[in-house]
Structure 1
Amino acid sequence: MSDRTPLLELASLDAGYGDLQILTDVDLRVDDGEYVTIVGPNGAGKSTAMKSVFGLTTYMDGTIAFRGDPIHDAESSEIIDHGITYVPQSGNIFTSLTVRENLEMGVFTEDEFPQETLEMVFDYFPILEERQQQRAGTMSGGQRQMLAMGAALMSDPDLLLLDEPSAGLAPDLVDDLFDRIDEINDGGTAVLMVEQNAKEALRRCDRGYVLVNGENAYDGPGRELLDNQEVRQRFLGG
């Protein structure tokens, strides 16, 4: 484990929604350029942990820090300015806008349009360049997910948060999507992902966390968790 200040660190985090506490004493870290996955059973608090990073839950106790600076009291707009973007599981594109307009919305607060970043996004997702004038609502599920990730990358974030990116996709599209996420991470963007396809996510990531009932259960290198017999039997179907 690195002794350097983590890019992102959750320490003893308690969080939930209103008076309902979901997370209890959760610890998690992501280092610069790292690819980290959160897995666990339904209702384990995976998405709550991710939403907490982006200021979308009720903070109760503990710390969320980005590059050592506490952000648990920050608004989502401020968190974006820190260098974090978030792709929710659903409702993550503007269906009435074109592909190009969706990408432009990813940087609507910036004074100058980042043409170089747009080219980077097109390198990751060539279909977006081909379909720039297509209405986003007419795209397939896989294409919409690529557009949502492309828009999130337009601000060139240090950390990309992905909530269940493969949900609802046909099996033949899932590997392709994971390949694109690998490429984004290889390009230097740290990734924190919540994913239902736990085996594939752990196979590809640097490190993983298993949450159960809103608490840390296991953590370690993705491959080690994948090979852990207890983790496999309890959470990965053997």
Structure 2
Amino acid sequence: MSADTERDPPSGDGDVSRKTVPDREGQSLLEVRGLDAGYGDLQILTDVDMDVAGGEYVTIVGPNGAGKSTVMKSIFGLTSHMGGTVTFEGEDITGLRPEEIIHEGIGYVPQNDNVFASLTVRENLEMGAYILDSVPQDALDAVFERFPILEERQSQKAGTMSGGQQQMLAMGRALMLEPSLLLLDEPSAGLAPDFVDDMFDRIDAINDDGTAVLMVEQNAKEALRRCDRGYVLANGRNRYMDDGDVLLNDEQVRKDFLGG
């Protein structure tokens, strides 16, 4: 398993060794190298490396405050960049604004405030294609096919929907431009327990259809069970990286980060 040298405790600053990433679609989509980032003058991430291959499903786990969400926001141009590079499909996107990154083919679903509560379901979905001259009907139809409840309730105000339905709407809006990579920040947060498995199944289906997924998830065991590869962050640094099932079954990772 790839891990930091000598297995320092979670508060340590060791770096992971790198493992060759299997490319499921023959093309590396995302490469993060030596990323330093934060908010204003506050640095959260230090020398973070990360890869997502074409069509791959990758999960980021770690304790609260580890910098997991900051990685996602940094990729999407929402933090202060302090060093390192972010490359997507061979193009340097470091420092681009979110609207420019959307053009490159990356969709992002934040954990909080991820729908326009006062707009209808259909209006929310149309907002997902705001960079286009017109809403692509085929993309809208594809979202409705994936999430039938959204078609049924397309005239309903988003703010009146359940948490799980709002999460589906947020994902549907991010899929309106048919991105090559979907960033999901804590998609199961706040969902009723009986809806969590359904949400994971829907993410699996999105990935099975060819969209690469990079996900931050609080339900670390379930996320690692389903993903191709996982990263463990602690104190804003890489700590472990390996196949999801390897991390899930590693004694040290389970003890330090998964509750035994």
TM-score calculated relative to the size of structure 1: 0.98
- Counterparts of 1:73 and 1:96, CA distance in 2: 31
Question: Contact 1:5 / 1:68 at 8 angstroms: preserved in 2?
Answer: no
Which residue of the partner structure matches residue 91 of structure 1? 113
Question: Contact 2:188 / 2:196 at 8 angstroms: preserved in 1?
Answer: yes
SS in 1 for 2:230: strand
- Counterparts of 1:148 and 1:138, CA distance in 2: 14
Give, as a single letter, the amino acid of the residue that structure 2 aligns with 1:22: I
1:174 aligned to 2:196? yes
Report deviation, 1:71.
0.8
Q: Deviations over 1:50-69 (max 9, x none)?
A: 10000001111111110121
Report deviation, 1:6.
1.9
Structural mapping, 1:22-171, within 5 Å: 22-171=44-193
Unaligned runs of 5+ residues in structure 2 are 1-20
Which residue of the partner structure matches residue 230 of structure 1? 252
Report deviation, 1:2.
4.0
Question: Contact 1:202 / 1:225 at 8 angstroms: preserved in 2?
Answer: yes
Question: Contact 2:129 / 2:177 at 8 angstroms: preserved in 1?
Answer: yes
SS in 1 for 2:196: helix
1:194 aligned to 2:207? no
Q: Deviations over 1:61-109 (max 9, x none)?
A: 1111101211112111100000001111011111111101100010022
Which residue of the partner structure matches residue 4 of structure 2? none
SS in 2 for 1:72: coil
The CA RMSD measured in Å over matched residues stands at 1.0
Question: Contact 1:99 / 1:132 at 8 angstroms: preserved in 2?
Answer: yes
- Number of aligned pairs? 238
Report deviation, 1:112.
3.1
SS in 1 for 2:134: coil
Q: Deviations over 1:37-57 (max 9, x none)?
A: 000000000000110000001
Give, as a single letter, the amino acid of the residue that structure 1 aligns with 2:156: Q
